Structure 1
Amino acid sequence: MLTFEEKLQIIEAFPELQRKDVSLGRVNFHYDDSIFDKKVVVQHLHPNGNGFVYAANLQEYNVDEKGFVNIRDFNADELRRIIKESIKSLSPNSAAARETAIIGEGQEERWTNDDGDVLLLILEDDWWNVYSGLNLEATFGTYDDAEDYLFEEGFRLE
Protein backbone atom coordinates (compact mmCIF):
# COMPACT_ATOMS: atom_id res chain seq x y z
CA MET A 1 0.00 0.00 0.00
CA LEU A 2 1.24 3.47 -0.88
CA THR A 3 1.73 5.95 1.92
CA PHE A 4 -0.17 9.22 2.14
CA GLU A 5 2.91 11.09 0.95
CA GLU A 6 3.39 8.75 -2.03
CA LYS A 7 -0.26 9.16 -3.02
CA LEU A 8 0.02 12.94 -2.68
CA GLN A 9 3.09 12.97 -4.91
CA ILE A 10 1.27 10.99 -7.63
CA ILE A 11 -1.90 13.08 -7.45
CA GLU A 12 -0.06 16.40 -7.37
CA ALA A 13 1.69 15.40 -10.64
CA PHE A 14 -1.64 16.08 -12.40
CA PRO A 15 -1.46 19.85 -13.08
CA GLU A 16 -5.16 20.02 -13.95
CA LEU A 17 -6.10 19.15 -10.34
CA GLN A 18 -6.32 21.75 -7.59
CA ARG A 19 -5.62 20.76 -4.00
CA LYS A 20 -8.20 21.63 -1.33
CA ASP A 21 -7.31 20.85 2.28
CA VAL A 22 -10.32 19.70 4.31
CA SER A 23 -10.90 18.63 7.91
CA LEU A 24 -8.96 16.01 9.90
CA GLY A 25 -5.86 16.33 7.72
CA ARG A 26 -7.70 15.06 4.66
CA VAL A 27 -7.19 16.44 1.17
CA ASN A 28 -9.48 16.75 -1.84
CA PHE A 29 -8.41 17.43 -5.43
CA HIS A 30 -10.77 19.26 -7.78
CA TYR A 31 -10.91 19.35 -11.57
CA ASP A 32 -12.27 22.83 -12.22
CA ASP A 33 -12.62 22.27 -15.99
CA SER A 34 -15.23 19.53 -15.46
CA ILE A 35 -18.30 19.91 -17.69
CA PHE A 36 -20.38 18.47 -14.86
CA ASP A 37 -21.31 19.94 -11.50
CA LYS A 38 -19.07 17.18 -10.13
CA LYS A 39 -15.58 18.57 -9.79
CA VAL A 40 -14.00 16.40 -7.07
CA VAL A 41 -11.67 13.77 -8.56
CA VAL A 42 -9.93 12.73 -5.33
CA GLN A 43 -11.96 12.88 -2.14
CA HIS A 44 -10.86 12.62 1.47
CA LEU A 45 -7.31 11.42 0.95
CA HIS A 46 -6.44 10.71 4.56
CA PRO A 47 -3.03 10.55 6.28
CA ASN A 48 -3.73 6.86 6.97
CA GLY A 49 -3.63 6.24 3.18
CA ASN A 50 -7.34 5.88 2.64
CA GLY A 51 -9.09 7.92 -0.01
CA PHE A 52 -11.51 7.86 -2.93
CA VAL A 53 -11.43 8.65 -6.65
CA TYR A 54 -14.51 9.57 -8.66
CA ALA A 55 -15.26 6.85 -11.23
CA ALA A 56 -19.03 7.00 -11.80
CA ASN A 57 -18.52 7.49 -15.56
CA LEU A 58 -16.05 4.60 -15.83
CA GLN A 59 -17.25 1.09 -16.63
CA GLU A 60 -14.57 -1.09 -15.07
CA TYR A 61 -14.78 0.00 -11.43
CA ASN A 62 -17.18 -0.91 -8.66
CA VAL A 63 -18.28 2.44 -7.29
CA ASP A 64 -20.18 3.38 -4.15
CA GLU A 65 -23.54 5.17 -4.20
CA LYS A 66 -21.78 8.51 -4.81
CA GLY A 67 -19.67 7.19 -7.68
CA PHE A 68 -16.35 6.83 -5.83
CA VAL A 69 -13.80 3.99 -5.65
CA ASN A 70 -11.72 3.37 -2.53
CA ILE A 71 -8.02 3.66 -3.43
CA ARG A 72 -6.55 2.44 -0.15
CA ASP A 73 -4.85 -0.60 -1.72
CA PHE A 74 -4.05 0.84 -5.17
CA ASN A 75 -0.46 0.68 -6.37
CA ALA A 76 1.16 3.64 -8.14
CA ASP A 77 0.20 2.55 -11.67
CA GLU A 78 -3.40 1.83 -10.68
CA LEU A 79 -3.71 5.20 -8.96
CA ARG A 80 -2.30 7.11 -11.95
CA ARG A 81 -4.60 5.22 -14.31
CA ILE A 82 -7.84 5.80 -12.40
CA ILE A 83 -7.08 9.50 -11.88
CA LYS A 84 -6.25 9.95 -15.58
CA GLU A 85 -9.48 8.14 -16.56
CA SER A 86 -11.54 10.12 -14.04
CA ILE A 87 -10.25 13.44 -15.39
CA LYS A 88 -10.90 12.32 -18.96
CA SER A 89 -14.46 11.26 -18.07
CA LEU A 90 -15.17 14.78 -16.74
CA SER A 91 -13.35 16.59 -19.54
CA PRO A 92 -15.06 18.70 -22.18
CA ASN A 93 -12.87 16.85 -24.72
CA SER A 94 -14.55 13.52 -23.98
CA ALA A 95 -17.41 12.67 -26.36
CA ALA A 96 -19.03 10.43 -23.74
CA ALA A 97 -18.84 13.18 -21.13
CA ARG A 98 -20.38 15.73 -23.49
CA GLU A 99 -23.23 13.35 -24.29
CA THR A 100 -23.84 12.56 -20.62
CA ALA A 101 -23.83 16.27 -19.76
CA ILE A 102 -26.47 16.95 -22.40
CA ILE A 103 -28.70 13.99 -21.61
CA GLY A 104 -28.62 14.23 -17.82
CA GLU A 105 -31.76 12.53 -16.57
CA GLY A 106 -33.76 13.13 -19.75
CA GLN A 107 -35.30 10.50 -21.99
CA GLU A 108 -33.08 10.12 -25.05
CA GLU A 109 -32.67 8.32 -28.34
CA ARG A 110 -29.65 8.04 -30.64
CA TRP A 111 -30.28 8.52 -34.36
CA THR A 112 -27.67 7.82 -37.06
CA ASN A 113 -27.39 8.37 -40.79
CA ASP A 114 -25.54 6.40 -43.47
CA ASP A 115 -22.40 8.51 -42.95
CA GLY A 116 -22.23 7.51 -39.27
CA ASP A 117 -23.30 10.94 -37.98
CA VAL A 118 -25.19 10.79 -34.69
CA LEU A 119 -27.96 13.04 -33.42
CA LEU A 120 -29.52 12.81 -29.98
CA LEU A 121 -33.24 13.26 -29.49
CA ILE A 122 -33.91 14.25 -25.90
CA LEU A 123 -37.12 15.01 -24.03
CA GLU A 124 -36.47 18.09 -21.91
CA ASP A 125 -39.21 20.01 -20.11
CA ASP A 126 -41.95 18.74 -22.44
CA TRP A 127 -39.93 19.64 -25.58
CA TRP A 128 -38.20 17.20 -27.92
CA ASN A 129 -34.73 18.61 -28.65
CA VAL A 130 -32.34 17.39 -31.35
CA TYR A 131 -28.62 17.77 -30.55
CA SER A 132 -25.54 17.40 -32.70
CA GLY A 133 -22.75 17.16 -30.15
CA LEU A 134 -23.27 20.06 -27.76
CA ASN A 135 -25.23 22.04 -30.33
CA LEU A 136 -29.01 22.26 -30.23
CA GLU A 137 -30.16 21.65 -33.81
CA ALA A 138 -33.95 21.79 -33.49
CA THR A 139 -36.82 21.78 -30.97
CA PHE A 140 -40.24 20.21 -31.42
CA GLY A 141 -43.45 20.19 -29.42
CA THR A 142 -44.20 16.53 -30.17
CA TYR A 143 -42.24 13.35 -30.63
CA ASP A 144 -43.93 12.76 -34.01
CA ASP A 145 -42.72 16.12 -35.33
CA ALA A 146 -39.17 15.39 -34.17
CA GLU A 147 -39.28 11.91 -35.67
CA ASP A 148 -40.53 13.28 -39.02
CA TYR A 149 -37.68 15.80 -39.07
CA LEU A 150 -35.06 13.14 -38.36
CA PHE A 151 -36.42 10.80 -41.05
CA GLU A 152 -36.46 13.67 -43.56
CA GLU A 153 -32.82 14.44 -42.74
CA GLY A 154 -31.86 10.79 -43.45
CA PHE A 155 -31.50 9.58 -39.86
CA ARG A 156 -32.72 6.30 -38.41
CA LEU A 157 -33.22 5.25 -34.80
CA GLU A 158 -30.37 3.06 -33.55
Structure 2
Amino acid sequence: MIIFRKFRPDSISCVFKYWGDWSHLDGLLCRIYDMVKITMGKTVLIVDDAKFMRMMIKNILVSNGFEVAGEAENTAEAVAKYKELSPSLVTMDVVMPGDNGIEAVKQIIAYDPDAKIIMCSALGQQGLLVEAIEAGAKEFVIKPFKPARVLEAVNKVLH
Protein backbone atom coordinates (compact mmCIF):
# COMPACT_ATOMS: atom_id res chain seq x y z
CA MET A 1 0.00 0.00 0.00
CA ILE A 2 1.43 3.38 -0.97
CA ILE A 3 0.01 6.64 0.29
CA PHE A 4 1.03 9.99 -1.19
CA ARG A 5 0.80 13.14 0.82
CA LYS A 6 1.64 16.38 -0.92
CA PHE A 7 3.24 18.83 1.49
CA ARG A 8 4.38 21.51 -0.98
CA PRO A 9 3.99 21.96 -4.75
CA ASP A 10 7.66 21.04 -5.18
CA SER A 11 7.83 17.94 -2.99
CA ILE A 12 5.96 14.72 -2.40
CA SER A 13 6.29 12.48 0.62
CA CYS A 14 5.64 8.75 0.34
CA VAL A 15 4.62 6.51 3.19
CA PHE A 16 5.02 2.77 2.63
CA LYS A 17 3.29 0.02 4.56
CA TYR A 18 5.13 -3.30 4.40
CA TRP A 19 2.95 -6.16 3.09
CA GLY A 20 5.58 -8.76 2.36
CA ASP A 21 7.99 -8.86 -0.58
CA TRP A 22 9.39 -5.40 -1.52
CA SER A 23 10.76 -6.49 -4.93
CA HIS A 24 7.58 -5.59 -6.82
CA LEU A 25 7.84 -2.00 -5.60
CA ASP A 26 11.02 -1.26 -7.56
CA GLY A 27 9.31 -0.88 -10.96
CA LEU A 28 6.38 0.96 -9.44
CA LEU A 29 8.64 3.44 -7.68
CA CYS A 30 10.54 4.11 -10.92
CA ARG A 31 7.28 4.87 -12.74
CA ILE A 32 6.07 7.12 -9.92
CA TYR A 33 9.41 8.95 -9.86
CA ASP A 34 9.27 9.53 -13.64
CA MET A 35 5.73 10.93 -13.37
CA VAL A 36 6.62 13.22 -10.47
CA LYS A 37 9.82 14.39 -12.19
CA ILE A 38 7.84 15.43 -15.31
CA THR A 39 5.30 17.56 -13.43
CA MET A 40 7.17 18.71 -10.31
CA GLY A 41 7.76 22.44 -10.35
CA LYS A 42 6.23 22.82 -13.82
CA THR A 43 4.14 25.96 -13.93
CA VAL A 44 1.85 27.00 -16.76
CA LEU A 45 0.47 30.32 -17.98
CA ILE A 46 -2.83 29.85 -19.83
CA VAL A 47 -3.71 32.54 -22.39
CA ASP A 48 -7.15 32.55 -24.03
CA ASP A 49 -9.83 35.21 -24.35
CA ALA A 50 -12.55 32.64 -23.56
CA LYS A 51 -12.82 31.82 -19.86
CA PHE A 52 -14.38 28.45 -20.73
CA MET A 53 -11.32 27.44 -22.76
CA ARG A 54 -8.94 28.57 -20.00
CA MET A 55 -10.94 26.48 -17.53
CA MET A 56 -10.85 23.44 -19.82
CA ILE A 57 -7.05 23.62 -20.24
CA LYS A 58 -6.60 24.28 -16.53
CA ASN A 59 -8.63 21.20 -15.59
CA ILE A 60 -6.60 18.99 -17.93
CA LEU A 61 -3.27 20.26 -16.60
CA VAL A 62 -4.11 20.42 -12.89
CA SER A 63 -5.60 16.92 -12.92
CA ASN A 64 -2.26 15.72 -14.31
CA GLY A 65 -0.04 17.34 -11.69
CA PHE A 66 0.79 20.71 -13.26
CA GLU A 67 0.47 24.01 -11.44
CA VAL A 68 -1.31 26.87 -13.21
CA ALA A 69 0.73 29.94 -12.31
CA GLY A 70 -1.62 32.38 -13.99
CA GLU A 71 -4.14 33.16 -16.68
CA ALA A 72 -4.41 35.95 -19.24
CA GLU A 73 -7.07 36.91 -21.76
CA ASN A 74 -5.13 39.12 -24.18
CA THR A 75 -1.65 39.77 -25.57
CA ALA A 76 -0.70 42.59 -23.23
CA GLU A 77 -1.73 40.59 -20.16
CA ALA A 78 0.07 37.50 -21.47
CA VAL A 79 3.39 39.28 -21.94
CA ALA A 80 3.15 41.05 -18.56
CA LYS A 81 2.28 37.84 -16.71
CA TYR A 82 5.04 35.92 -18.49
CA LYS A 83 7.60 38.47 -17.30
CA GLU A 84 6.15 38.43 -13.78
CA LEU A 85 5.70 34.66 -13.34
CA SER A 86 8.39 33.07 -15.56
CA PRO A 87 6.30 29.94 -16.16
CA SER A 88 7.76 26.68 -17.48
CA LEU A 89 5.17 26.64 -20.26
CA VAL A 90 2.58 28.87 -21.95
CA THR A 91 -0.57 27.75 -23.73
CA MET A 92 -1.56 30.51 -26.17
CA ASP A 93 -4.77 31.03 -28.13
CA VAL A 94 -4.07 32.12 -31.71
CA VAL A 95 -7.07 34.39 -32.23
CA MET A 96 -7.88 36.95 -29.52
CA PRO A 97 -9.31 40.48 -29.59
CA GLY A 98 -6.73 43.17 -30.38
CA ASP A 99 -3.31 41.71 -31.11
CA ASN A 100 -3.45 37.98 -31.80
CA GLY A 101 -1.53 35.24 -30.03
CA ILE A 102 1.23 35.35 -32.63
CA GLU A 103 2.13 38.88 -31.56
CA ALA A 104 2.30 37.66 -27.94
CA VAL A 105 4.60 34.81 -29.01
CA LYS A 106 6.92 37.29 -30.76
CA GLN A 107 7.06 39.53 -27.68
CA ILE A 108 7.62 36.65 -25.25
CA ILE A 109 10.34 35.09 -27.45
CA ALA A 110 12.02 38.51 -27.75
CA TYR A 111 12.09 38.67 -23.94
CA ASP A 112 12.99 34.97 -23.41
CA PRO A 113 14.25 33.04 -26.45
CA ASP A 114 13.94 29.76 -24.49
CA ALA A 115 10.21 30.24 -23.74
CA LYS A 116 8.12 27.12 -24.30
CA ILE A 117 4.83 28.03 -25.96
CA ILE A 118 2.04 25.77 -27.22
CA MET A 119 -0.46 27.36 -29.62
CA CYS A 120 -4.17 26.55 -29.33
CA SER A 121 -6.15 26.92 -32.53
CA ALA A 122 -9.51 26.09 -34.05
CA LEU A 123 -9.72 24.04 -37.22
CA GLY A 124 -9.12 26.10 -40.35
CA GLN A 125 -6.36 28.26 -38.86
CA GLN A 126 -3.43 26.22 -40.16
CA GLY A 127 -1.86 29.28 -41.84
CA LEU A 128 -1.78 31.10 -38.51
CA LEU A 129 -0.25 28.04 -36.82
CA VAL A 130 2.61 28.00 -39.32
CA GLU A 131 3.18 31.70 -38.61
CA ALA A 132 3.13 31.02 -34.85
CA ILE A 133 5.68 28.21 -35.15
CA GLU A 134 7.90 30.49 -37.25
CA ALA A 135 7.56 33.14 -34.51
CA GLY A 136 8.87 30.70 -31.89
CA ALA A 137 5.99 28.53 -30.67
CA LYS A 138 7.12 24.94 -30.05
CA GLU A 139 3.91 22.96 -30.60
CA PHE A 140 0.17 23.30 -31.24
CA VAL A 141 -3.14 21.69 -30.31
CA ILE A 142 -6.42 21.96 -32.19
CA LYS A 143 -9.71 22.91 -30.53
CA PRO A 144 -11.84 21.22 -29.34
CA PHE A 145 -9.22 19.78 -27.00
CA LYS A 146 -8.65 16.13 -26.38
CA PRO A 147 -6.90 15.75 -23.01
CA ALA A 148 -4.49 13.13 -24.35
CA ARG A 149 -3.38 15.44 -27.17
CA VAL A 150 -2.89 18.38 -24.79
CA LEU A 151 -0.73 16.23 -22.49
CA GLU A 152 1.21 14.84 -25.45
CA ALA A 153 2.04 18.39 -26.61
CA VAL A 154 2.96 19.51 -23.09
CA ASN A 155 5.27 16.54 -22.51
CA LYS A 156 6.88 16.99 -25.92
CA VAL A 157 7.63 20.66 -25.27
CA LEU A 158 8.92 20.14 -21.73
CA HIS A 159 11.38 17.38 -22.76
- Of structures 1 and 2, the larger Rg is shown by 1
Task: Considering fraction of residues, name the structure with more helix.
Answer: 2
Give the TM-score, by structure 2 length: 0.29
Task: Considering fraction of residues, name the structure with more strand.
Answer: 1
